[in-house]
Structure 1
C-alpha cells in the first residue's frame, strides 16, 4: 500500500489552492460586474426620477426599430414633464416613420412634445417632426421632401448582354413584380404606382392635419422638394426659427413647464441592452483565468443585428430629390 509523501501532499494542496483562488476571483469578478451594472442603472434611473425634460434624438436612417419605440414608451412612463425631440434625418421607411410618429402622438397626449430640427428633417424625418406639438428649425435646416419612393435596379439588359436568362415560375403575373431581372410590365408598374399613391396620400393627409394647411398650401409643399427653414417658415412647415433654447422657451411660455428644469438625454442603451454586461464580464473573467466563460461572454458580445430598408421609402437623396 502506497503512501503519499509530504512533498506530494504539499503539491496537491498548492494545486487545490490555485483552483480555489481562480474560482474565487471569477466569483468576485461577476459580483463586481453586477454591482457596476446595478450602480449604473441606479444612477441613470435616479437622474430620471426627478422632474426633467427628456431629450430624444432621432438620427440617420429611420426604420422604426424596436429599441427606439421602447425608448419612447419608457419616456412616457417616466417622470419627464416634457419631451424635446432632436431630429437629424433624411428619412427612411414609410412604415418605420409612421410607427415613431404614432408613438410620439401618444406621448404628446400626456406630455408636451417639441421637435428641434438640426441639419435636416426630410421625408420620414419630417414625418417624425410632425409628431411634435411644435417644430423649431434653423434658417438653413432642410425640411420637407414630402413624397414616397419605390426603387429597384433593373439589370435585365445587362443579363441579355452577357447571355443570362432567369427562368421564373410563379402563381400569377404580379407575384414578385417588379424584380429587376426582367423588363417591368405595365401592370407591375401600375400596381407599384398604386402603393406609392396610397402612402403618398397618407403622408399628405398627416401634413395637412398637423400643419393646418388648406389644399392650395398643401399642393405648394408636397411636390417632393426640400425647403430651407426660412422657406419652410413662410410655408407653415415649421413654427419658429431657432434650436433647443427656443424650444425650451416655448415649453415654458406655452405649456407651463417650469423654467430651469434639467434636460436629460435618453438613449437606447439606457433601456436594457445586455451586451455591455457581457463585455465587462468577458474582460474580468479573462483576468481571472476562466477561459470557457470568457469565450462565452465574448461570443455574446459579438452578436450583431443588421437593419435593412424594406418596403416603401420616405427618404431624401442628395442630387436626386424624391
Structure 2
C-alpha cells in the first residue's frame, strides 16, 4: 500500500502527463486543420484556374453558326484607341471574320464614338476598303448618338452611312492639347531643370516656355494629319459631299444637317438596314467581347505582376 508521500508525488506527475497529452491532441488537431485549409485553398485556386482557362477557351473558340443569310454586325463604341474596346486589332479581326463568312450578306458598323486615335481609325478604314474590294460585300455604317472625328474617319469607308435625326456627326479636324505651367511656377518660385540630348527633345514640355519654332513644327504636323483626314472623307463620300467652308473646320452637326450636307446618306437604325437594305433580317454580332473570365485573368495577372515587381524592388533597393 503506497505511502502518503508517494501519492503526493504521483498526483503532480499524472496532472502534468494529462496536460501534455491535451497539448499534444490540440497540436495534432491544429495541424490537421491547417492541412485541410491548405488543401482547400489549393483546390480552390486550381478550380479558379480551370474555370478561367475553360471560359477563355470557350470564348475564343465559339463561333456563331447562323442557319442562313444574315447581316454581320460589328460595334464601334467609345474612344478609339489601342487600349480600349474600340481598338484596331480587335475590330480588324472581327471584320475579317465577318467578310470571310459566306452567310454574311453585308457588314454593318454600328457606331457610337467621339473618336480617338487617327492611327487606329486609319488602320480600320484601310482594312474595310481592302476587304470590300476582296470580298465584294457592301458595308454600312449605322450611327447611334455620336460619330465624330476618328469615328467618322472609320464611317466614311462604308458604302452608305445611316444616322438618327439627332445623332452628332462630323468634327473633321485634329487636335493636340496640353497645359502650360510656367506662369504658376514663376509665382511659386519653382525652377524647371530639364536636361535633353537633342535641341527638340523637350518639345512641348508643359513646364518650359513655348518655343515658336517647335510650335510651328507641331502645327504643321497636325495640319498634315488634317489633310489626310480630309482626303479620306472626300474619297469615301465622293460627289455626295456638299462641301462648305465649315465642312472641315472641326464643327459637328445633327443627323438631319449631316444628311443635308452629304456627310450621311439617310436616316435609319440597325434593324431597318438589315431588313430593308441588306434584306437579311437575322443579325449576327461579330464584335469581340471580353468576358468575365478574361477580366478576372487580367486582374489576377496584374496582381501577380505587381507583387513580383515589389519583390524585385525590395531585393535591389539599398536599405
Q: Mark yes or no: TM-score above 0.5.
A: yes
Structure 1 gap ranges (5+): 1-10, 253-257, 281-296, 305-322
Q: 2:175 aligns with which of 141, 146, 149?
A: 149
SS at match of 1:62: coil
1:50-199 equivalent positions in 2, closer than 5 A? 51-64=69-82, 65=87, 66-79=89-102, 80-109=104-133, 110=135, 111-199=137-225
Aligned-pair Cα RMSD in Å = 3.7
1:1-322 equivalent positions in 2, closer than 5 A? 44-47=62-65, 51-64=69-82, 65=87, 66-79=89-102, 80-109=104-133, 110=135, 111-213=137-239, 217=243, 219-249=245-275, 251-252=277-278, 258-260=279-281, 262-269=282-289, 276=293, 279=296, 299-300=300-301
Q: Offset at 1:236?
A: 0.5
Contact 1:49 1:78 in 2 (8 A): no
Q: Offset at 1:37?
A: 6.0
Taking structure 1 as the reference length, the TM-score comes to 0.69
| Bigger Cα Rg | 2
2: CA distance, partners of 1:143 / 1:197: 21
Of structures 1 and 2, the one scoring higher in RCO (CA 8 A, sep 6+) is 1
SS at match of 1:55: strand
Taking structure 2 as the reference length, the TM-score comes to 0.70
Contact 1:108 1:132 in 2 (8 A): no
SS at match of 1:157: helix
2:312 counterpart residue number: none
User: For structure 1, which segment, 29-38 or 238-247, has the greater mean C-alpha deviation from structure 2 after superposition?
Assistant: 29-38
Structure 2 gap ranges (5+): 1-27, 306-319
CA pair 238-278 structure 1, distance change in 2 beyond 3 A:
closer
Contact 1:84 1:113 in 2 (8 A): yes
1: CA distance, partners of 2:182 / 2:97: 48
CA pair 218-212 structure 1, distance change in 2 beyond 3 A:
farther
2: CA distance, partners of 1:99 / 1:188: 28
